[in-house]
């Protein structure tokens, strides 16, 4: 399958074949509300074929030396690069995004003990067929974040994008089919039945899931049936802490981007801002000025991607308005606009700590700003949450910054900006924000099993590794 790609037709990919399932549906362009292209709905039979193909491919793919797999992944990256403009256009139409970094991954075995008698080694064999399930907010990057570590560790994959944004992932599948052996990468689009079919399938060894906490719990329950491994990358409620010694106009600039990028539809975006009381007025002066210039549908204030999310964001605005919270930017009213789901940005000043806007992840362009008096107090308020994805600390005093960072119950802490993932570092989570993590050497190990090999050296075997019982040598538990 080495033909040029059409960006007008979409297929599921099984065993490097384009599969037309007969049934189809279409996504919606969130900028205009217009229908996008028809796209296939997978059946349960398709899931079985995809898992079977991935199983067959696993037998040879997992034995391929990682240098060769790595070469193919590089070719795959080049293949994606070739269609960069077309994929960017697709992403714009289904949600609007940028490109990921490349990375090199492998999990070398570890020698844990080496003495005259024994060598103990941990090996990391691939776990098997992985199911990758992704949400609608970063359809390209998150698909790559599932495919690359699966393939690098020797796993094969069945990828399921969100039904709201299937397009770029299906094209990734077609590009992968031009490069990898059949069965290594499957991509299935479908309806709400597809996820449960995949997570209950006994042929899947691991589910790498990114999405909401509620669905993550269902995925884990379904995986329990055959004790599948799970990686859960779920929602968060990331806080930013701004101390009084930081450059306040700069803090306002950085925090405004972290909170409003992609209209707040970013899992690691800032969802609540805590400012030291002594610099609060100065911060608000700058922050309000910046956010007042943000306009729905312009720059990074994109439309809300889908109707369900739009209704959720609306209900948070209405809750703040009904309870009389202080809208220092925005009015709290959301007027339905023809075309896309546009929401004007809003800033809420000092709502109660137990309000929905402080406790929930709105996933929309609205953020509360709160004040704090001491580091101890702000740490306790930030940590008093059922979730713990990430946090940001803006603090010039290095010792204090490390102390703050080290006290937060979150998988990531960014200090003084740079709120992004780095391929060398695990992106993990605490509490209900998830289990496991992605990226970095540790992230790769989540796509493997471990195998401990204890090798008794021949020369000393009889004396050290056995005891005589009735003249027979038997194993000794050391
Ligand atoms: P979602 O949970 O509704 O859907 C995610 C995926 O799960 C979709 O592909 C969906 O079709 C599938 N799915 C739905 N029900 C399923 C089931 N029963 N079994 C298996 N799969 C099922 O999430 P969403 O609304 O698409 O995404 C938004 C959420 O994702 C937010 O909470 C956000 O914080 C989170 N998110 C987290 C990260 C992270 O890395 N932690 C990154 C991006 C988004």
Ligand 1 pocket residue status of 196, Cβ below 6 Å: yes
Atom 30 in ligand 1: residue holding the nearest Cα: 211
> pLDDT tens digit string along 60-88?
999 999 889 999 999 999 999 898 888 88
Does residue 105 carry a pLDDT above 70? no
Does residue 473 carry a pLDDT above 70? no
Ligand 1 pocket residue status of 136, Cβ below 6 Å: yes
Per the DSSP assignment, residues forming a β-bridge with 369 are 273, 349
Residue pair 40/19 in contact by the 8 Å Cβ criterion:
yes
Does residue 20 carry a pLDDT above 90? no
Pocket test for ligand 1, best of 131, 135, 167 (most atoms within 8 A of CB): 135
Say whether 376 sits in a helix, a strand or coil: helix
E strands present in 297-388: 326-329, 346-349, 366-372, 387-388
Question: Out of 233, 344, 361, 438, which one is annotated catalytic?
Answer: 233
140-154: average pLDDT:
96
> pLDDT tens digit string along 24-68?
999 988 888 889 999 999 999 999 999 999 999 999 999 999 889
Ligand 1 pocket residue status of 235, Cβ below 6 Å: yes
Higher pLDDT, 107 or 446: 446
Q: Of 240, 325, 299, 321, which is closest to residue 274 (Cα–Cα)?
A: 240
Does residue 98 carry a pLDDT above 80? no
State in Å: Cα 233 to ligand 1 middle. Answer: 9
Ligand 1 pocket residue status of 137, Cβ below 6 Å: yes
Ligand 1 pocket residue status of 210, Cβ below 6 Å: yes
E strands present in 268-309: 272-276
| Amino acid 390: pLDDT | 97
Length of the chain: 478
State the CB neighbour count (10 A cutoff) for residue 193: 13
Does residue 94 carry a pLDDT above 90? no
State the CB neighbour count (10 A cutoff) for residue 378: 24
Does residue 424 carry a pLDDT above 50? yes
Query: Is 233 an annotated catalytic residue?
Result: yes
Cα 115 off chain centre by: 42
Does residue 103 carry a pLDDT above 50? no
The region of weakest confidence among 9-13, 93-97, 220-224, 430-434 is 93-97
Atom 42 in ligand 1: residue holding the nearest Cα: 267
Does residue 467 carry a pLDDT above 70? no
pTM of the full structure = 0.91
Atom 26 in ligand 1: residue holding the nearest Cα: 135
Q: Which CA distances in Å does 354 have to 107, 384, 464?
A: 44, 10, 63
Ligand 1 pocket residue status of 234, Cβ below 6 Å: yes
| Amino acid 100: pLDDT | 37
| Amino acid 476: pLDDT | 54
Ligand 1 pocket residue status of 362, Cβ below 6 Å: no
Q: Could you tell me the sign of the dihedral formed by the alpha carbons of 179, 182, 186, 189, in that order? A: positive
Ligand 1 pocket residue status of 195, Cβ below 6 Å: yes
Does residue 209 carry a pLDDT above 90? yes
Residue 218 binned pLDDT confidence (cut-offs 50, 70, 90): very high
Higher pLDDT, 470 or 279: 279
Residue pair 48/151 in contact by the 8 Å Cβ criterion:
no
176-188: average pLDDT:
97
350-354: average pLDDT:
97
E strands present in 350-411: 366-372, 387-388, 390-394
Residue pair 314/334 in contact by the 8 Å Cβ criterion:
yes
The region of weakest confidence among 96-105, 218-227, 449-458 is 96-105
Pocket test for ligand 1, best of 199, 215, 412 (most atoms within 8 A of CB): 215
Mean of pLDDT over the chain: 91
**Domain boundaries of the chain, sorted by first residue:** 12-234+432-451, 239-421
State in Å: Cα 282 to ligand 1 middle. Answer: 38
Atom of ligand 1 nearest to the CA of 213: 32
445-474: average pLDDT:
72
Say whether 194 sits in a helix, a strand or coil: helix
Atom 10 in ligand 1: residue holding the nearest Cα: 162
| Amino acid 23: pLDDT | 92
- Which CATH number, 2.30.29.30, 1.10.150.130, 3.90.1280.10, 3.40.309.10, labels domain 239-421? 3.40.309.10
> pLDDT tens digit string along 365-379?
999 999 999 999 999
> pLDDT tens digit string along 283-309?
999 999 999 999 988 888 999 999 999
436-440: average pLDDT:
95
DSSP one-letter string for 298-322? STT-PPBSSHHHHHHHHHHHHHHHH
Does residue 102 carry a pLDDT above 50? no
Does residue 474 carry a pLDDT above 60? no
Q: Class assignment of domain 12-234+432-451? A: alpha beta
Per the DSSP assignment, residues forming a β-bridge with 414 are 392
Atom 20 in ligand 1: residue holding the nearest Cα: 195
Atom 23 in ligand 1: residue holding the nearest Cα: 211
Tokens read off for 120: 């103990």
């Amino acid at each position: 399958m080495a033909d040029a790609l059409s960006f007008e037709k979409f297929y599921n990919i099984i065993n490097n074949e384009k599969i037309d399932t007969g049934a189809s549906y279409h996504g919606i362009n969130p900028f205009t509300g217009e229908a996008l292209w028809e796209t296939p709905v997978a059946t349960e039979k398709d899931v079985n074929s995809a898992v079977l193909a991935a199983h067959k491919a696993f037998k040879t793919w997992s034995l391929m030396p990682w240098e060769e797999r790595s070469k193919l992944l590089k070719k795959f990256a080049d293949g994606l690069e070739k269609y960069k403009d077309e994929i960017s256009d697709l992403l714009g139409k289904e949600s609007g995004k940028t490109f990921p970094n490349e990375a090199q991954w492998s999990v070398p075995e570890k020698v844990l003990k080496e003495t005259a008698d024994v060598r103990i080694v941990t090996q990391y064999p691939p776990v098997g067929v992985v199911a990758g399930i992704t949400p609608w907010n970063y359809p390209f990057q998150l698909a790559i974040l599932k495919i690359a570590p699966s393939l690098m560790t020797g796993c094969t994959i069945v990828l399921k994008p969100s039904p709201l944004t299937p397009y770029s992932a299906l094209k990734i599948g077609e590009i992968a089919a031009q490069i990898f052996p059949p069965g290594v990468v499957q991509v299935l689009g479908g309806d709400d039945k597809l996820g449960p079919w995949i997570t209950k399938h006994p042929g899947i060894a691991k589910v790498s899931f990114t999405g909401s906490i509620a669905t993550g719990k269902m995925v884990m329950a379904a995986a329990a049936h055959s004790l599948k491994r799970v990686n859960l990358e779920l929602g968060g409620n990331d806080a930013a802490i701004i101390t009084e010694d930081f450059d306040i106009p700069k803090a306002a600039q950085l925090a405004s981007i972290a909170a409003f990028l992609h209209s707040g539809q970013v899992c690691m975006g800032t969802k609540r801002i805590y400012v030291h009381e002594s610099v609060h007025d100065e911060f608000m002066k700058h922050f309000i000025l910046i956010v007042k210039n943000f306009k729905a549908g312009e720059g990074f204030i994109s439309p809300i991607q889908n109707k369900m999310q739009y209704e959720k964001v609306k209900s948070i605005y209405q809750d703040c308005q009904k309870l009389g919270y202080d809208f220092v930017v925005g009015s709290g009213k959301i007027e339905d606009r023809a075309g896309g789901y546009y929401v004007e940005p809003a800033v809420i000043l000092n709502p109660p700590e137990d309000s929905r806007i402080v406790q929930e992840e709105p996933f929309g362009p609205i953020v509360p700003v709160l004040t704090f008096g001491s580091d101890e107090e702000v740490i306790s308020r930030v940590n008093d949450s059922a979730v713990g994805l990430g946090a940001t600390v803006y603090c010039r005093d290095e010792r204090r910054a490390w102390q703050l960072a080290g006290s937060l119950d979150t998988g990531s802490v960014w200090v003084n900006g740079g709120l992004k993932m780095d391929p060398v570092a695990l992106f993990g989570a605490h509490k209900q924000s998830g289990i496991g993590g992605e990226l970095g050497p540790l992230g790769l190990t989540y796509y493997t099993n471990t195998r401990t090999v204890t090798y008794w050296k021949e020369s000393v075997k009889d004396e050290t590794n056995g005891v005589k019982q009735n003249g027979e040598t038997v194993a000794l538990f050391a």
